[in-house]
């Protein structure tokens, strides 16, 4: 059981990192709290009573007060991020004691363990604003969605943003290959197939291959072509907690795993070649994606069929227009196959991506 006494967020919302503070003399409760801290990747400070003077009570990003210690901290300075932790489900007096010490939440173990692990992990990671998360999907096969996804990620990293590129299409051949990093050291999707609950954002980032100043979560060359939806949810949530940007290359089919990705996206970009069959196919894709993701926009690729331009394609699909995705000449050369999309900072594709990020990040900042 968990319950909120106030609605103020704990200090972790500001991105401040530090050690959680535990105050209790109950050895059984302390063992449980230490176990939960370990599961969240945090090393707490432990006290039997209120620390003397100004110090860890004020500075700790999260304070866990055992119900046995509520009386001993009653006179402490009021602050946010205090959780009163007990064991007795039937003790109605716990709410009164929580109000007396200014606790934000009341938590009764073992029911509230997962909630508490998540809160401890948040402060251990210094969670702030979640990453701006953009999905890219082709209106038809060969539309160039993977190329645009890579270019967006490369451009984001070049601008100094923490960037993660996620390959959500197991049949796409691997984005690490498109970036020329198929032999780079690091984990691929199959390594996360057993993930459940919460995945540490920092640990995830450090485990992935680093290419062109960004991290890449791609597929290996093995036989596995699916990861359970729970694992997809946990991994993407961990990626978003790190902040910066996350770019996801999506397949055109929407299964349970893709639905988990769509639920965590801020914006979806539908890449559509300017031809009538592609527009017809893209309409079906947009309909399926739009059942989960409400902000879907269209990016049009030329050359244009007679009677079509980018605005007409957007009108036919009934979607907002991002613009025309330019062709990167270097990618068309025989010797340009190992040049990552968007790597030429002054190229047309990089300029398109830079303008997209400037608009999208401004929208987030003003929202």
Evaluate whether the domain defined by 21-125 bears CATH number 2.30.42.10.
no
Does 303 sit behind a cis peptide bond, omega within 30 degrees of 0 on the bond before it?
Answer: yes
Is the pLDDT score of 296 beyond 90?
Answer: yes
Is the pLDDT score of 11 beyond 60?
Answer: no
pLDDT mean across residues, the chain: 88
Other CB atoms within 10 Å distance of the CB of residue 224: 12
Give the residue-averaged pLDDT of 329-336.
Answer: 56
Flag the least confident range among 110-124, 288-302, 306-320, 338-352. Answer: 110-124
pLDDT confidence bin for 194, thresholds 50/70/90: confident
Q: What is the pLDDT of residue 366?
A: 57
Q: Which residues contact 136 (CB under 8 A, 6 or more apart)?
A: 145, 146, 148, 149, 152, 247, 248, 249, 250, 268, 269, 271
Q: What is the pLDDT of residue 39?
A: 83
Q: Which residues contact 165 (CB under 8 A, 6 or more apart)?
A: 149, 150, 153, 175, 179, 214, 215, 216, 217, 246, 247, 249
Q: What is the pLDDT of residue 6?
A: 38
Residue 233's nearest CA partner among 214, 255, 207, 258 is: 258
Q: What is the pLDDT of residues 259-293, one digit of tens each?
A: 999 999 999 999 999 999 999 999 999 999 999 99
% of residues, the chain, pLDDT over 70: 90
Is the pLDDT score of 15 beyond 70?
Answer: no
Q: What is the pLDDT of residue 65?
A: 97
Six-digit token pair at 307?
A: 């009677």
Residue 300 near residue 314 (C-beta atoms within 8 A) = yes
Q: What is the pLDDT of residue 267?
A: 97
pLDDT confidence bin for 5, thresholds 50/70/90: very low
The CATH code that applies to domain 132-366 is 3.40.50.300
Phi-psi region of 222 (alpha: psi -120 to 50; beta: other; left: phi over 0): beta
Residues of the chain with CATH 3.40.50.300: 132-366
Is the pLDDT score of 334 beyond 60?
Answer: no
Is the pLDDT score of 196 beyond 90?
Answer: no
Instruction: Measure the CA–CA gap between 262 and 271, rounded to whole angstroms.
Output: 16
Q: What is the pLDDT of residue 16?
A: 44
Burial class from Cβ neighbours inside 10 Å (0-12, 13-18, 19+) for residue 89 reads exposed
Is the pLDDT score of 61 beyond 70?
Answer: yes
200 versus 102: which is more confidently predicted?
102
The per-residue b/e assignment along 133-163, b for 16 or more CB within 10 angstroms, e otherwise, is bbbbbbbbeebbbbbbbbbbbbbbbbbebbb
Residue 172 near residue 146 (C-beta atoms within 8 A) = yes
Other CB atoms within 10 Å distance of the CB of residue 103: 28
Proportion of the chain in helix, strand, coil states, percent, rounded to 5: 40, 15, 40
Q: What is the pLDDT of residues 117-157, one digit of tens each?
A: 888 887 877 666 889 999 999 999 999 999 999 999 999 99
Give the residue-averaged pLDDT of 3-13.
Answer: 41
Q: What is the pLDDT of residue 10?
A: 41
Q: What is the pLDDT of residue 171?
A: 86
Residue 134 near residue 248 (C-beta atoms within 8 A) = yes
Is the pLDDT score of 70 beyond 70?
Answer: yes
Planar angle of CA 321, 323, 329, nearest 5 degrees: 155
How would you classify the pairing of strands 2-4 and 105-108? antiparallel
Q: pTM of the entire structure? A: 0.74
329 versus 331: which is more confidently predicted?
329
Residues of the chain with CATH 3.40.50.2300: 21-125
Give the residue-averaged pLDDT of 234-260.
Answer: 92
Give the residue-averaged pLDDT of 218-232.
Answer: 87
Tokens 């990003």 belong to 61
Query: Helices 229-241 and 256-263, interaxial angle, to 10°?
Result: 20
Is the pLDDT score of 164 beyond 60?
Answer: yes
Q: What is the pLDDT of residues 340-353, one digit of tens each?
A: 899 999 999 999 99
């Amino acid at each position: 059981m968990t319950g909120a006494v106030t609605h103020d967020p704990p200090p972790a919302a500001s991105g401040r990192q530090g050690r959680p503070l535990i105050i209790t003399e109950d050895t059984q409760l302390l063992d449980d709290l230490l176990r939960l801290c370990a599961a969240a990747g945090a090393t707490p400070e432990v006290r039997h009573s209120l620390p003397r003077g100004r110090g860890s009570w004020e500075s700790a990003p999260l304070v866990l007060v055992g119900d046995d210690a509520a009386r001993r901290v009653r006179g402490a300075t009021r602050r946010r991020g205090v959780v009163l932790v007990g064991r007795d489900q039937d003790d109605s007096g716990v709410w009164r004691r929580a109000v007396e010490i200014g606790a934000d939440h009341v938590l009764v173990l073992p029911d509230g363990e997962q909630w508490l692990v998540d809160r401890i992990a948040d402060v251990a990671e210094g969670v702030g604003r979640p990453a701006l998360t953009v999905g890219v999907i082709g209106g038809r096969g060969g539309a160039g969605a993977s190329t645009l996804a890579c270019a967006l990620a490369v451009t984001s990293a070049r601008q100094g943003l923490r960037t993660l590129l996620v390959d959500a299409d197991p049949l796409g051949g691997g984005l690490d290959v498109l970036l020329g990093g198929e032999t780079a050291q690091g984990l691929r999707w199959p390594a996360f197939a057993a993930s459940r609950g919460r995945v540490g954002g920092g640990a995830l980032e450090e485990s992935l291959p680093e290419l062109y100043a960004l991290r890449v979560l791609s597929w290996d060359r093995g036989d596995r072509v699916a990861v359970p939806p729970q694992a997809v949810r946990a991994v993407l949530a961990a990626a978003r907690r790190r902040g910066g940007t996350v770019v996801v290359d999506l397949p055109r089919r929407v299964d349970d795993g893709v639905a988990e990705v769509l639920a965590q996206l801020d914006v979806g970009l539908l890449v559509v070649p300017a031809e009538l069959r592609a527009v017809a196919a893209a309409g079906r894709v947009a309909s399926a994606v739009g059942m989960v993701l409400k902000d879907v926009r269209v990016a049009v690729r030329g050359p244009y069929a007679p009677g079509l331009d980018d605005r007409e394609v957007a009108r036919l699909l009934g979607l907002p227009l991002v613009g025309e995705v330019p062709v990167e000449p270097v990618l068309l050369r025989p010797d340009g196959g190992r040049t990552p999309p968007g790597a030429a900072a002054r190229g047309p594709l990089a300029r398109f991506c830079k303008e997209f990020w400037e608009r999208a990040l401004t929208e987030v900042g003003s929202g």
